[in-house]
Each structure stands twice: as C-alpha cells, then as structure tokens.
C-alpha cells in the first residue's frame, strides 16, 4: 500500500506518519517526488490493507492506494517518475542512451585494453567484460577471476570508462565490491535470491538480466529483492528468452521494453548479443531496442572474435560496433533521445 501526503506537509507531520507505519509493524519507504511525497507501507502480503482506515483518517494524508502487485517498490504505482541512476558523470534512465560494450569474457590484457580504447573512441559509455563466467559446461573457460578484474581496472584507468562485470555468487561480492562499478546479475542467477539480497546492501548499480525462462512479473520480483534491501539502483536488462524457435540462440522479447516501462519506473536495457546469438542479427535488434524505448544496450565486442574464449560467434568487431553507434544516434534522435 502507498500513502500520498498532502502538498506542503511539514517535516514533523511526515515523521508522525512514519512513526504510525512503524507502530503498526510495517516498514516505511519514503519517496520524494518533485510535487508529491509518497510513502510505501511495506509488510508481508497485503496485511497493510487492513489498516487503510487508520491512514485515511490521518490529517496529513491525501490518498491511500493499495498496490495489488506482488512487487511494490519497483512498481510504477509506487513511483510515477522514471528512476535515473546518476553515475560517474552520466545518467542511466535519463534522456541519454547509454551503451555498454566489451568482450563476453576478459581473455588477455592486450585484447581488453585494445577494445576498451576503441570503444571509448566511438562513444560507448561503459566497458563490459566477464571475470567470472557462468558456463553451461564445467569444462568450458570459467573466466580469469581476479586477474580479469585487474585488467578491467587498468582499462578503466586508461580510458575513463567504468566497467560492468558479472557476479555469480554471494561469496564473490566482497571482491567485486572493491573492483566493479556495476554488478551484472546474469540470466542464470536472475532468481538467486540470496545473491539479490546481498546486492541490496551495496550502493553500486545492478544490471539485472532477465532469466531465460522468467516472466516479466517474476523478473520484477527479483528486482524488488534488491530494492527492498536498500539498493534502488537496479537496471533491468532483457536478454532473450527460451521459446520453440531455434534459428536464433534465444528469442529477444522486445515486448518486454514497453511492458516494463508501463509496470515499473526502473531503467530498461536490452542485450541483443545474447538475445540472438548470431553476429549478423545483432545490429538490427540493437536498433529495434532503441526504437522500442530502451534506455541503453549492452553489446559484446571483441577485437579478434576467432580467438574469443566465450560467445565468439556473437562478438562484433570494433568496426561493426562503430557503424552501429552511428546508426543508433539517428534512431535515438528520432525517438527524442540522445546518444
Ligand atoms: C554475458 O553477459 O556474457 C552473459 C553470460 O549473459 P546472460 O547471463 O544474459 O546469459
Ligand atoms: Mn556472453
């Protein structure tokens, strides 16, 4: 349930509402908009509804609105305005389209520094690179671990680009907290609830990929785990779902973009690389993602795909990525955005 306060309420009046919420055994979540102050009354299930009258009779409260969804704080009902994550001099979820790009996994220092410099030159904002890789086969390359994090930190220093990297387990959080700028939660961990709760204690943004068999509602509940634990900086990332179709690696569900924009205030990204898994189809789907209203994309780029140790056949060459950036600029402008 959310309560909306009357315009112009004083601090003491806000405190009274907060105290009442706590007295009844709920957790208050304050959200100050430009015009209105709303407070989420968070408790198990829909227990808060029973106290609707109590809140309606309080002087300083204008309206009481039950939230019928199983997720609360990430819902559009809780917060009407888009969440913007201000970060390292730019804003995720604002007018500007943000591009994350880099290799699937960090393999050599040389390759990483090379690609990072090229990406910076073409105007990408955030470097991606896996240090811990979730591989389907236990015999496939598992990532360079901390060595990769050192290379990523070096690339950040050389280019000024922050980096996003995947966290697979709660035991990796302590190490990654020291290196990473943005946590990536992969499709295979989209419902690793202990991990999501742990990331709720961080203030670093979390790029939350959609599970390959996760509904939009389940995905938003995953996001709720992070936000409810105290970290509001969640970015949702569509990366393709499992369907009967085998022509592409997954089926990129671009429907999810407007659906999420309707249901939630969180920024929405699209990962066309995993969504299609075929080099030639990535650019068209990246273009479609921006046209559909995504706030950004994450794309795999490798300076020499033939030697890449994971996802080689979906890696774009830097020259392809530079061309895509140009095309995306035109599409961004056509939909009232900037890149
Ligand atoms: C990745 O980004 O390399 C990755 C493994 O993505 P996903 O979790 O979406 O499969
Ligand atoms: Mn990959």
Does residue 274's CB lie within 6 angstroms of at least one atom of ligand 1? yes
> Which DSSP string corresponds to 201-215?
T--S-EEEEPPTT--
Return the structure tokens found at 51: 């106290």
Query: Ligand 1: which residue has its CA nearest to atom 2?
Result: 104
User: What was the pLDDT predicted at 279?
Assistant: 97
Pocket test for ligand 1, best of 169, 239, 308 (most atoms within 8 A of CB): 239
Nearest to 163 by CA among 148, 142, 145: 148
Angle value at C-alpha 257, between 91 and 125, nearest 5 degrees? 30
Does residue 104's CB lie within 6 angstroms of at least one atom of ligand 1? yes
d(CA 130, CA 308): 12
User: What was the pLDDT predicted at 87?
Assistant: 84
- Burial (CB count within 10 angstroms: exposed 0-12, middle 13-18, buried 19+), residue 44: exposed
**Cα torsion for 171, 70, 296, 205, to the nearest 10°?**
-30
**Which ranges of 277-317 does DSSP label H, i.e. alpha helix?**
279-292
What does pLDDT average to over the chain?
Answer: 96
Does residue 261's CB lie within 6 angstroms of at least one atom of ligand 1? no
Domain with residues 85-334, CATH architecture = Alpha-Beta Barrel (3.20)
Tell me: the pLDDT tens digits for 195-243? 999 999 999 999 999 999 999 999 999 999 999 999 999 999 999 999 9
Does residue 272's CB lie within 6 angstroms of at least one atom of ligand 1? no
pTM for this model (two decimals): 0.95
Question: Which residues have their alpha-adjacent CB atom under 5 A from ion ligand 2?
Answer: 104, 311
User: What was the pLDDT predicted at 311?
Assistant: 96
Residues listed for the chain: 339
Residue whose pair of structure tokens reads 């179709």 in the numeric block: 245
Does residue 232's CB lie within 6 angstroms of at least one atom of ligand 1? no
- Bridge partners, residue 165, by sequence: 183
User: What was the pLDDT predicted at 295?
Assistant: 98
Tell me whether the CATH fold assigned to 2-65 matches the one assigned to 85-334. no
**Cα torsion for 105, 146, 208, 92, to the nearest 10°?**
-90
Share of the chain above pLDDT 70, in %: 100
Contacts for 294 with CB less than 8 Å, ≥ 6 apart? 97, 238, 257, 268, 269, 270
Most confidently predicted of 32-41, 58-67, 322-331: 322-331
Contacts for 9 with CB less than 8 Å, ≥ 6 apart? 37, 60
Tell me: the pLDDT tens digits for 15-60? 999 999 999 999 999 888 777 899 999 887 778 888 999 999 999 9
Neighbours of 222 (CB within 10 A): 25
What is the arithmetic mean of pLDDT over 249-274? 98
Domain positions in the chain: 2-65, 85-334
- Which CATH code, of 3.30.70.1140, 3.30.70.3340, 3.40.50.1100, 3.30.390.50, is assigned to 2-65? 3.30.70.1140
pLDDT-derived band at 88, boundaries 50, 70, 90 = confident
């Amino acid at each position: 349930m959310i309560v909306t306060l009357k315009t112009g309420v004083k601090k003491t009046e806000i405190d009274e509402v907060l105290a009442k919420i706590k007295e009844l055994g709920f957790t208050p979540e304050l959200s100050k908009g430009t015009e209105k102050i709303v407070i989420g009354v968070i408790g198990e299930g829909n227990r808060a509804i029973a106290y609707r009258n109590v809140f309606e009779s309080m002087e300083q409260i204008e309206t009481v609105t039950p939230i019928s969804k199983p997720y609360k704080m990430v819902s559009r009902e809780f917060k009407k305005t888009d969440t913007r994550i201000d970060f390292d001099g730019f804003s995720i979820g604002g007018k500007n389209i943000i591009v994350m790009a880099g290799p699937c996994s960090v393999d050599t220092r040389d390759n990483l520094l090379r690609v990072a410099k090229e990406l910076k030159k073409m105007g990408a904002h955030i470097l991606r690179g896996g240090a811990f890789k979730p591989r389907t086969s236990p015999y496939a390359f598992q990532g360079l671990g901390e060595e990769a994090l050192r290379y990523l930190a070096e690339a950040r220093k050389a280019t000024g680009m922050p980096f996003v990297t995947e966290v697979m387990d709660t035991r990796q959080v302590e190490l990654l907290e020291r290196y990473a700028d943005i946590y990536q939660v992969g499709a295979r961990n989209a419902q690793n609830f202990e991990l999501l709760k742990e990331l709720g204690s961080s203030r670093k943004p979390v790029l939350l990929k959609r599970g390959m068999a996760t509904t939009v509602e389940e995905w938003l509940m995953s996001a709720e785990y992070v936000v409810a634990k105290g970290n509001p900086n969640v970015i949702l990332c569509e990366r393709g779902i499992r369907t009967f179709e085998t022509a592409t690696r997954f089926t990129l569900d671009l429907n999810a973009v407007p659906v999420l924009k309707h249901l939630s205030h969180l920024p929405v990204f699209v990962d066309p690389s995993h969504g299609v898994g075929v080099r030639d189809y990535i650019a068209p789907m990246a273009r479609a993602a921006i046209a559909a209203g995504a706030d950004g994309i994450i794309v795999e780029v490798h300076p020499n795909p033939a030697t890449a140790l994971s996802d080689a056949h979906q890696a774009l060459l830097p020259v392809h990525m530079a061309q895509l950036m140009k095309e995306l600029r035109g599409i961004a402008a056509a939909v009232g955005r900037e890149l």
